[in-house]
Structure 1
Amino acid sequence: MSGTLPVVVVGAGPVGLAAAAELRERGLEPLVLERGLSAGEAVAEWQHVRLFSPWPELLAPAALRLLEPTGWQRPDGTYPTGREWAERYLRPLAAALGGRVRFGTEVTGVARRGRDRLVDAGRETEPLTVHVRRSDGREQRITARALVDASGTWGSPNPLGGDGLPALGERAAAGRIAYRVPDLTDTALRDRYAGRHVVVAGSGHSALTALVAFAGLAGEHPATRVSWALRRGTVGDAFGGGAADQLPARGALGMRAREAVAGGAIRVVTGFRTAAVESGSDGTLTLVSEAGHRIEAVDEVVALTGFRPDLSWLSELRLDLDATLQAPVALAPLIDPNVHSCGTVYPHGVRELAQPEPGVYLAGMKSYGRAPTFLALTGYEQVRSIAAALAGDREAAERVELVLPETGVCGGAGVFDEPAEEGGCCGAPTGAEPISLSARS
């Protein structure tokens, strides 16, 4: 019976849709469940942000084989925005998959049929039950032979608090704190920030993108003040490789942020780990660090400190996750920024991603847990391998079919507080760029 059941894929983003294309090509029936009302809905939320990865590194091989016979035209140009990625690739791909993608369907839990996580009997033979809630409030259970969780981490941004928990007063001030790069081409958002004191927290590419945007806003509205709060002790390599960067768009972003700081448009506050957010009687906020330092008279905060996986709806499954990263144990040593200030993540698949719960896999950004750096191409190789394994082709599942350029995995605990060593790869030329929305300090 299990052979007739679908493989449920959670999330109609880049990796989830690639998984469906791979499964379909293998003769398996995918069923993609997406909480949003369109493909790539999370991507559309950062539609104004331009990726550093060029188009060829954003298109999954199996997806191309599905799309090209339909008359779909491969996008031209180099680095798309989130909007272009969703409109020109993800939505056509979902349309090509047809009824295999269900929108407005939120997964609320997954379990082994008739068994909670304590029960051993039947775990190898009983199918999975996927509990969902439709946009109209109806609840349903779907029986599945396997589960690929490609739901990502976009829905779970890290808090402003420097210890991984919300700072004191952070929840109370939630209306004044944004956790994504604001779209300052939106008139309402420009009006919200113009002429105000804005604090940007974080040191990844998302933070640099926000700093450049706010520096431009300050140029038009001189009363706008921008403070950059960094957890690390120095700015160090936060600006990247500049003109030496093999990706011109990334290098240009770092140089523009550096110029904005050097020109006085941005005030830099280093070694600042937020412990409290105080709301003043005049309506402004004060950020207080663990060391007692204060950033006062703050109107708005943009916290760009990364993302984390939501594991709550997987609570009845037996998962083997790294205690630090919340990533699959076999994958964690390859991506842990506490161990590797710089490193190369080789293509990996079912061997590293398989869980103790039979037929359950984490893929895409979800598989990286709290690690900050992820390549779309890596996710496409993950789901190629998973689909091969589910189809019984173990040789193909364990065969590497992707050669990735080297890329630094940077920003561990040591890098937060100390400058990078001279000659480290973080500031040197690198290959393909991780998607910037996942960057954290």
Structure 2
Amino acid sequence: MEDSLRLAIIGAGPIGLELALGAVQRGIKVQVFERAQTVGGHVEGWQFVHLFSPWSMNMSEEAKLVLKELGPLPDEGAFPTGRELVDSYLAPLARVIQQSSNCEGLHFGTEVVTVGRGALLKSESIGGGDVQMPKGKPLCEKQRRETPFRLLVRQAHGSGEERYLEGFDFVADCSGFYASNLSNWAGKGGTPALGERALRSANRIFTTIPDVLGIHRERFAGKKCLVVGAGMSAATTVRNLVELSKTEKNTEVTFLTRSAGDPYSVIADDVLPQRKILSEISNRASKGEVPNVTYLGGAAIREIKQAADGRLRVAVERSSDGSVENSAFEVDEVVCCVGYRPDTSIYEELQVHQCYASNGPMKLAATLIGGSGDCLAQVSAGVDALKNPEPGFFILGGKSYGRKSSFLLKIGHDQVRSVLDSLVPGPAT
């Protein structure tokens, strides 16, 4: 139909593709933009990691209906790796979407640089209302909600050629956050440690989970390594290094967290056994009960610098009983698993109300305050929490949680349903 709604989706990951599938089924014209050359660009970065949630929590009912026509579905009780998530779920989902007459294109190797709204400035048409123009100046657009979105895109690899694409009624940013350039800083108070910026620019330190037992094995085998962080990425890295030390002599780990005591809360009857195992191993390591692991709790990195022999000298500050203790040591590798922050530059010219603590959209962030420590206890906040002051612009998936790491794919599937129902009410056709 000529008057079909048009939707631009940023990111061809798990949530971007779920949204694209639901949209084309409802008659919405869709274009998907993915910076990587394949689906699930961020997932490729942790393809060797097993999810601690089973397939049953990572597949939507809508996707299963179309994928079962292509062949057997994955075992819902199995725990997939990132590689299996891409090959068995995301890639076939993308093929189904591309076959729809409502799909205007899945653009790989294409980065969305920024999103605007016609000729409107960020400061104009507050809340979508009439534009108040100075006397004698032409009125370019009347209201934000009536003005189509305009995307500046560029070739992510090669020439970097730029172009504008216009005429979108809605835009959904599903671009995620798992990337080296989006990692938080490892220094005190979340600021860069001295020397950290240069070492990150030189790719000398890891800011995503290294494939310790695979392609990065030689960098860690028989070496001393520092792991910073107290999330599941850090726990995964510590566990893998401990496993490596069983067959590679002299492999040693220093495990550093900003809080003292047990770094992880263990849920007694956790329905996700892999999560419980990771938490328990890390807590035992913090008590000195795991061979080849030294624990530094209540600590912060002051400086990281590279010595002449290529090793890294790390200066650490620890606080205890009001006193501060400084120390330094050398390691071969540093892995900073300290979380990620969303790239907000994409929508800096739109009217988006961001949380001052998490950088996520404010309405959704408000619903997450004081939530349960168990990410499984989450429920979808509904479409109203996903709306921004910018009419028709949505931030979905992991990026919608800002710096919070408790997002689950099942929540993203709920987000997709609620947004689609708000755009085209009624069941999918």
| TM-score past 0.5 threshold | yes
8 Å CA contact retained: 2:355, 2:361: yes
Give the total of aligned pairs.
390
For 2:188, the equivalent position in structure 1 comes to 162
Alignment partner, residue 233 of structure 2? 206
Aligned mates of 1:263, 1:55 — CA distance in 2: 31
- How far apart, CA to CA, are the structure 2 residues paired with 1:2 and 1:277? 58
Q: CA deviation at 1:37?
A: 1.1
Stretch of structure 1 that moved more, 227-236 or 248-257: 248-257
Question: Cα gap change, 1:173/1:256 in structure 2, threshold over 3 Å: closer, same or farther?
Answer: same
Q: Is the 8 A contact 1:335 1:371 kept in 2?
A: no
Which of residues 164, 186, 203 is equivalent to 2:214? 186
Give the letter aligned to residue 68 of structure 1. Answer: K
1:147-205: per-residue Cα shift (whole Å, max 9, x none)?
01110111211122232222110022233310112112325x11111222100001111
Query: C-alpha deviations, 1:68-127, integer Å up to 9, x for none?
Result: 33x232112510000000100000001111154221111001000112212222312110
The amino acid across from 2:360 in the alignment is A
Query: How far, CA to CA, are the matches of 1:234 and 1:257 in structure 2?
Result: 11
The SS at the match of 1:7 is strand
Cα distance, 1:41 vs. partner? 1.8
Instruction: Tell me whether 156-165 or 348-357 shows the greater mean CA deviation.
Output: 156-165
- Give the aligned partner of residue 176 of structure 1: 204
The answer to whether the 8 Å contact 2:311/2:332 transfers is yes
Q: Which residue of 2 aligns with 1:220?
A: 247
Between structures 1 and 2, the one with greater strand share? 2
Q: Flag the structure with larger Rg.
A: 2
The aligned residue for residue 21 of structure 2 is: 21
Separation in structure 1 between the aligned mates of residue 253 and residue 363 of structure 2, nearest angstrom? 42
Query: Which residue in 2 is equivalent to 1:111?
Result: 116
TM-score normalised over the length of structure 2: 0.85
Q: In the alignment, what sits opposite 2:224? A: 197
Contact 2:55 2:74 in 1 (8 A): yes
Deviation at 1:258, TM superposition (A): 4.7
Question: Aligned partners of 1:5 and 1:278: how far apart in 2?
Answer: 53
Residue 409 of structure 2: aligned partner: 376
Question: How far apart, CA to CA, are the structure 1 residues paired with 2:152 and 2:383?
Answer: 25
1:328 lines up with 2:361 in the alignment: yes
Query: What SS is found at the alignment partner of 2:186?
Result: coil
C-alpha distance 5-191 of structure 1, shift in aligned 2 (>3 A): same
> 1:145 is matched with which residue?
169
Structure 2 match to 1:267: 294
SS in 1 for 2:120: coil
2:64 corresponds to 1:59? no
Deviations along 1:263-283, one digit per CA (max 9) or x if unpaired, are: 332100001122322333443
Contact in 2 for aligned 1:2/1:145 (Cα 8 Å): no
Inter-CA distance 19–259: structure 2 relative to 1 (3 Å threshold): same
Structure 1 counterpart of 2:119, which letter?
A: G
Tell me, yes or no, if the aligned pair for 2:262 and 2:283 is still in contact at 8 Å. Answer: no
Q: What residue is the counterpart of 2:138 in the other structure?
A: none
SS at match of 2:314: strand
Q: Is the CA contact (8 Å cut-off) linking 2:372 and 2:378 kept in structure 1?
A: no
| SS class of match (2:145) | coil
CA apart distance, 1:140: 2.0
Q: Contact 1:110 / 1:129 at 8 angstroms: preserved in 2?
A: yes
Alignment of 1:406-417 (within 5 A): none
Whole-angstrom distance in 1 between the partners of 2:291 and 2:208: 24
User: Using the alignment, how far apart are the partners of 2:58 and 2:274 within structure 1?
Assistant: 16
Superimposed CA distance per residue, residues 38-94 of structure 1 (whole angstroms, 9 cap, x where no aligned partner): 11121111011000111011112222233333x232112510000000100000001
- Post-superposition Cα deviations, 1:205-242, rounded to whole Å, max 9, x if no partner, equal 11111111111222222222210001112125x16247
Q: 1:10-49 alignment to 2 at 5 Å?
A: 10-49=10-49
Residues 212, 237 of structure 2: 8 Å contact kept: no
Shift of 1:2: 9.4
Partner residue, 1:85: 85
| Residue aligned with 2:196, SS | coil
* Alpha-carbon contact 1:278-1:285 (below 8 Å) kept: yes
Query: For 1:348, what is the secondary structure of its paired residue?
Result: coil
Q: Is the 8 A contact 1:354 1:361 kept in 2?
A: yes
**Equivalent residue, structure 1, for 2:304:** 277
1:73 alignment counterpart:
72
Q: Distance in 1 between matches of 2:283 and 2:356?
A: 36
In structure 2, give the amino acid aligned to 1:323. Answer: Y
CA distance in 1, matches of 2:227, 2:42: 22
Partner residue, 2:279: 254
**Pick aligned residue for 1:289 from 308, 316, 321:** 316
2:151 corresponds to: 130
Conservation of the 8 A alpha-carbon contact between 2:51 and 2:79: yes
Q: Distance in 2 between matches of 1:129 and 1:5?
A: 15
TM-score normalised by structure 1 residue count:
0.83
Query: Which deviates more from structure 2 when the two are superposed, residues 19-28 or residues 292-301?
Result: 292-301
**Structure 1 position 386 matched with structure 2 position 419:** yes
Which residue of structure 2 aligns with residue 315 of structure 1?
348
- Structure 1 Cα separation of the partners of residues 164 and 71 of structure 2: 35
Q: Percent identity?
A: 34
Where do 5+ consecutive residues of structure 1 fail to align? 398-441
1:253 is aligned with what amino acid?
L
1:3 Cα deviation from its structure 2 partner = 4.2
